[in-house]
Amino acid sequence: MAESEREAAGRADLSNRDDSRLFADLRRLEQHLEAILINVAEAITVADRSGHMVFANQAAAELLGAASPGELTSAEPGTIMRRFLVLDEQGHELELEDMPGSRLFRGEDSEPLLVRNIVRATNEERWIIARSSPVADPDTGEMLYAVNVFEDVTLLKRAQLAESALSVERAQIAHTLQRALLPETLPPIDGVEIETLYAAAGELNEVGGDFYDVFDYGDARTLLVIGDVCGKGPRAAGVTALARHTLRAGAIGGQSPAEMLATLHQALLRQPPGADLCTVCLIMLVRERDSARLTIALAGHPPPLLIRAGGEVEQVGRSGTVLGVVNPVRIEESEIALAAGETLLLYTDGVIEAGRPSRLLGEDGLHELCAAAPGLPLARFLEHIEQTALARAQGRLRDDIALLALRLTA
């Protein structure tokens, strides 16, 4: 053999040995990688374009109800998925082509997908987050495989669902309790139209402290009350109930509006330390021939607004001290006449606080809204105020809103 031929043969033999060594190194690396993936906690599969699994680890076999990873890799595409009812969060059934790996092969975005996996044979349910990433040919860039990672989040999802169902129950209880703290019906008053509106802040999972009441006072007189207890929850509910019943008891005893508020003040001071303070606007209404006479007593509450038939607005009543804080309490009564076509609005400060800080409605904004009252039915007028407050607050009130309005009919 010529020298050149011997050199060529030697180079070929060396190349073959290098190729064999490289192949052996790659195979060992592949085996090491497979050994690692087989034993990781997350369920991992690798699928080709047809949907056939070319790799699956033990966690994937357990999650998908297979006896071994080999059962998954030997199965025809789609047969494993047919063992389950697979739903998205909205309850829509999903197919293999809806999964992240299939979307990757179609060149679509592949965001993680939360699915509800139900075993058809047993109805066993699991919540799983499916994630996929591509493996591409380094030379051509063509996608060869989709690596799928499945995370079992069943315990977390069940906890979230349970918390949401406690939230719903709390909201229902709070709603029921809130309605119990407000009058179911309003007594009719000859020649006087009365409307009320209550809008709860937040998700109504706590009882608010705003309240109103309307009840007979004897001798053709009617008492109208609106108040605001500081705070929310059981304590506020207790103070609200105390306020309503104490004022009703004072009316039965024939007390004047100022005396009724003074009695409530003493009742609040006798509560356990830390009991919430309370503001109240109390009005005694006496119907007369062509008008109504109103006696107003304020205890730290925003003054009511008198809206004339032409739309002019003014505050009425004299400010008094907040109830349940310190002695002595100062309450002054004042009287006004309400003529036919005029409207009186009582409200809690959640109205004027709506939209704080940058979109605050404020007293000036409320006065502007009141100017429209003469041209609106009374119920629609209150809805107009509520809708404007909600718009200012971008749909999320910081505080509850209570409104009570009365209008003398012709």
Mean pLDDT over residues 308-323, rounded? 94
What was the pLDDT predicted at 296?
98
- Which band of pLDDT confidence, cut at 50, 70 and 90, is reported for residue 36? very low
Mean pLDDT, the chain, whole residue set: 85
Residue 410 has pLDDT above 80, yes or no: no
CB-count exposure of residue 142 (10 Å: 0-12, 13-18, 19+): exposed
Helix (H), strand (E), coil (C) string for the chain: CCHHHHHHHHHHHHHHHHHHHHHHHHHHHHHHHHHHHHHCCCEEEEEECCCCEEEECHHHHHHCCCCCHHHHHHCCCCCCHHHEEEECCCCCECCHHHCHHHHHHCCCCCCCEEEEEEECCCCCEEEEEEEEEEEECCCCCCEEEEEEEEEECHHHHHHHHHHHHHHHHHHHHHHHHHHHCCCCCCCCECCEEEEEEEECCCCCCCCCCEEEEEEEEECCEEEEEEEEECCCCHHHHHHHHHHHHHHHHHHHCCCCHHHHHHHHHHHHHCCCCCCCCEEEEEEEEEECCCEEEEEEEEEECCCCEEECCCCCEEECCCCCCCECCCCCCCCCEEEEEEECCCEEEEECCCCCCCCCCCCCCHHHHHHHHHCCHHHCCHHHHHHHHHHHHHHHCCCCCCCCEEEEEEEECC
Half-sphere exposure of 236 (CA within 13 A, CB side): 18
Residue 63 has pLDDT above 80, yes or no: yes
Residue 381 has pLDDT above 80, yes or no: yes
% residues pLDDT > 90 (the chain): 57
For the whole prediction, is pTM greater than 0.95? no
Question: Is the pLDDT higher at 188 or at 37?
Answer: 188
Closest CA to 192 of 371, 378, 366, 401: 378
Packing angle of the helix pair 234-252, 257-269 (nearest 10 deg): 140
CA distances 83 to 65, 136, 244, 262, 284, Å, are 9, 30, 61, 73, 72
Residue 373 has pLDDT above 90, yes or no: yes
CA quadruple 392, 394, 400, 406: dihedral, nearest 10: 40
Cα–Cα distance measured from residue 380 to residue 367, given in angstroms and rounded to the nearest whole number: 16
What was the pLDDT predicted at 40?
58
Considering only the top CATH level, what class is 40-152?
alpha beta
Question: Is the pLDDT higher at 135 or at 170?
Answer: 135
Mean pLDDT over residues 353-372, rounded? 92
Q: Do domains 40-152 and 183-408 have the same CATH topology?
A: no
Residue 217 has pLDDT above 60, yes or no: yes
What was the pLDDT predicted at 159?
80
Mean pLDDT over residues 25-40, rounded? 51
What was the pLDDT predicted at 298?
97
**Would you say 292 and 246 are in contact if contact means Cβ atoms under 8 Å apart?**
no
* Length of the chain measured in residues: 410
Considering only the top CATH level, what class is 183-408?
alpha beta
Cα–Cα distance measured from residue 281 to residue 292, given in angstroms and rounded to the nearest whole number: 18
What was the pLDDT predicted at 31?
52
Residue 299 has pLDDT above 90, yes or no: yes
CA distances 246 to 221, 240, 253, Å, are 18, 10, 11
Please give the backbone phi and psi of residue 378, each rounded to the nearest 5 degrees, phi first.
-60, -45
What was the pLDDT predicted at 22?
47
Q: Could you tell me if residue 65 is left (phi over 0), alpha (psi between -120 and 50 degrees) or otherwise beta?
A: left
Residue 91 has pLDDT above 80, yes or no: yes
- Which band of pLDDT confidence, cut at 50, 70 and 90, is reported for residue 3? low
Residue 207 has pLDDT above 70, yes or no: no
Structure tokens at 84: 């389950």
% residues pLDDT > 70 (the chain): 83
**Would you say 47 and 146 are in contact if contact means Cβ atoms under 8 Å apart?**
yes
Spans of all domains in the chain: 1-30, 40-152, 183-408
